[in-house]
Structure 1
């Protein structure tokens, strides 16, 4: 598969499209969360000035800042035409729906929220599911009807 930002990735039965996907997902996870942490710096500055302008009311956003930044980051990047975050693009993978439809903002935010919820309950077993399932799918992929495919 070629890396084309205007392509809707459709799952295939070809095993090569899923070869090494799990390790690429881990690599993409590390890159994406470094980017989210870097994006938290300007978000903290914005929240600080918002807190000053609202006489302290805006400071209540500080505890939720990481989650707000992460949900916006994953929602806007996975829901884009590339169907992948910058970390996923660097790892050569993209997300696809099993029915062939495009990934949208809502599905991508639900996907990351389910990842956090399931990961907080089943850590580190969430990655073990990918070793034993077809197409290296994780539990939240099954629940949402998504699959990760190689683009390179």
Structure 2
């Protein structure tokens, strides 16, 4: 039984109930063009993630020549380095005050929780891992899911309670 102040009798506390912060019906400016911008942002982020790994591969190749092929054994570390760098990149950039990767910032979109809070580092890292696991396990056909929902959310967005929206600046431009 509730006494009207948010407290329930019997010692149990009821937490705050949040509504979705972004409604595609009343606030369409937050979702206008997000899906296409999300794809371009992803491609930009892939380039930014693979760039340092490609540079590392060139360094290992040259180091292998100098060490008479002994340095080439370091090529086996490129796979783990790519995974660690991609997760760190997502955690650092999504956990920043902009709540967006560099590619997302260039496209004026950001990742928010379903109740409107900015993303944080751990959520950013888990978001990246869940994306790659869902695409790997369920084939790229899982990327068709945003075509069938108003908020343009992917499977990992549903699992993590996140939503991709236009930045406040872009939403304001679209409102006008």
TM-score, reference length from structure 2: 0.69
Structure 2: gaps (5+ residues)? 1-19, 171-176
Question: How is 1:62-141 mapped onto 2 (pairs within 5 angstroms)?
Answer: 62-141=78-157
Shift of 1:42: 4.9
Q: Does 1:12 align with 2:22?
A: yes
RMSD, aligned α-carbons: 2.3
Provide the residue aligned with 1:25 in structure 2: 38
Structure 1: gaps (5+ residues)? 1-9
CA distance in 1 between counterparts of 2:138 and 2:90 reads 21
User: What is the SS of the residue equivalent to 2:79?
Assistant: coil
Alignment match of 2:49 (pick from 12, 36, 47): 36
Which of structures 1 and 2 has the larger relative contact order (alpha carbons within 8 angstroms, sep 6+)? Answer: 1
CA distance in 2 between counterparts of 1:84 and 1:126 reads 22
- Residue-pair matches, total: 137
- Which deviates the most, 61-70 or 17-26? 61-70
Question: How is 1:43-54 mapped onto 2 (pairs within 5 angstroms)?
Answer: 43-44=56-57, 45=59
TM-score, reference length from structure 1: 0.80
Shift of 1:15: 1.6
Provide the residue aligned with 1:3 in structure 2: none
